[in-house]
């Protein structure tokens, strides 16, 4: 949408008072302590327009208010700045529009509020930036719309939130279990003399092979906090130069463990020899609760 040339300024309120426009080359800066509230009505940032919320500044879109970033428009929330969309308020990034949340900046959508990133629109969250959507709030990325999480940025969804994927909704708890259980690989942890090179169970792996040495009489390995649904296979074997005996004691940190009989245990030992290459299959039956669901070889659950 091009600027109405009957207006002489680049930032103006349209006749009738229902629409505030930042035209090409125009800029709105909300400084520390300043607040821009959008009640019923609309604000539009057009091509070449720029709106920046500095530290301490705040932009609020109230019920029935709307904020739109059009093609070539730019909206930036700097560190310490905040943009919030209230119930029945809306925010939109149109084709060619750009919205950036910088480190320390925050964008939030309340219950009943909504956001839309249209085809060709870009929504970017930098490392340290925050995007928050309350239960009942929504943000929609149309076909061709883009959400970019830069290096160091994080996305989190709290328990009980629903996630829509390919037209179907499923709970975040279910998604967490699927991802924790399925998206995993294999890691080999070697030993340096009497000590394993990695002491804690790595994240996002499905199989862990502990490679012992003849000097590792009692190596230590730790199970840590976990999300329900994750499965891990622990295997103990000799290294490439030795099949000599080795022992690894597996302990707990920030989690509990149920043994093969279903009773709690505080640790277990895995003993490797020419006659035994032990393995233990673990599953997180609840958050931070592991259970031994299969074992083979020389395993001692009472050490």
Residue 157 φ/ψ, nearest 5 degrees: -130, 120
Distance of CA 236 to the CA centre of its chain: 33
pLDDT of 212? 64
- 143-172 pLDDT, tens digit each: 888 888 888 777 666 666 666 666 666 666
Looking at residue 254, the DSSP 8-state letter turns out to be S
pTM: predicted TM-score of the whole model, two decimal places: 0.54
Which tokens in the block code for residue 186?
A: 């294999």
- For residue 42, give every residue at least 6 positions away whose Cβ sits within 8 Å of its Cβ, in sequence order, or none: 18, 19, 20, 65, 66, 67, 68
Low-confidence ranges of the chain (pLDDT < 70): 1-7, 155-184, 192-194, 212-218, 238-245, 303
pLDDT of 218? 63
**Distance (Å, whole) CA 135 – CA 290:** 30
From the CB of residue 39, how many other CB atoms can be counted at a distance below 10 Å?
12
**Distance (Å, whole) CA 31 – CA 276:** 69
pLDDT of 299? 92
Residue 5 φ/ψ, nearest 5 degrees: -70, -10
CA distances from 122 to 134, 146, 287 (A): 21, 5, 35
- 97-140 pLDDT, tens digit each: 899 998 888 888 888 888 889 888 899 998 888 888 887 788 88
pLDDT of 158? 65
Distance of CA 250 to the CA centre of its chain: 29
Strand intervals (E) in 47-203:
50-53, 58-61, 65-69, 74-77, 82-85, 90-93, 98-101, 106-109, 114-117, 122-125, 130-133, 138-141, 146-149, 162-165, 168-171, 185-192, 195-196
Residue 70 φ/ψ, nearest 5 degrees: -85, 180
pLDDT of 209? 87
pLDDT of 49? 81
Instruction: State the architecture of 180-300 in CATH terms.
Output: Sandwich (2.60)
């Amino acid at each position: 949408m091009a600027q109405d040339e009957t207006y002489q300024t680049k930032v103006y309120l349209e006749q009738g008072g229902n629409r505030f426009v930042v035209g090409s080359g125009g800029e709105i800066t909300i400084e520390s302590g300043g607040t821009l509230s959008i009640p019923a009505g609309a604000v539009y940032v057009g091509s070449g327009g720029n709106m920046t919320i500095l530290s301490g500044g705040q932009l609020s879109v109230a019920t029935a208010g709307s904020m739109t970033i059009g093609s070539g428009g730019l909206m930036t929330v700097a560190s310490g700045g905040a943009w919030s969309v209230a119930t029945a308020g809306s925010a939109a990034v149109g084709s060619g529009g750009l919205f950036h949340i910088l480190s320390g900046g925050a964008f939030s959508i309340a219950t009943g509020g909504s956001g839309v990133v249209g085809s060709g629109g870009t929504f970017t969250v930098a490392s340290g930036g925050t995007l928050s959507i309350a239960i009942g709030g929504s943000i929609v990325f149309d076909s061709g719309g883009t959400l970019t999480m830069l290096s160091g940025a994080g996305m989190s969804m709290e328990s009980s939130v629903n996630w829509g994927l390919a037209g179907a909704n499923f709970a975040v708890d279910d998604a967490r279990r699927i991802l924790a259980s399925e998206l995993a690989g294999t890691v080999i942890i070697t030993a340096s003399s009497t000590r394993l090179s990695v002491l804690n169970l790595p994240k996002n792996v499905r199989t862990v092979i502990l490679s012992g040495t003849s000097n590792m009489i009692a190596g230590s390995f730790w199970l840590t906090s976990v999300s329900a649904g994750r499965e891990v296979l622990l295997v103990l074997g000799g290294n490439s130069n030795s099949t000599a005996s080795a022992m690894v004691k597996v302990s707990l940190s920030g989690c509990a463990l149920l043994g093969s009989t279903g009773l709690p245990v505080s640790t277990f030992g895995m003993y490797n020899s020419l006659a035994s290459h032990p393995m233990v299959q673990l599953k997180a039956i609840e958050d931070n609760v592991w259970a031994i669901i299969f074992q083979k070889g020389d395993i001692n659950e009472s050490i």
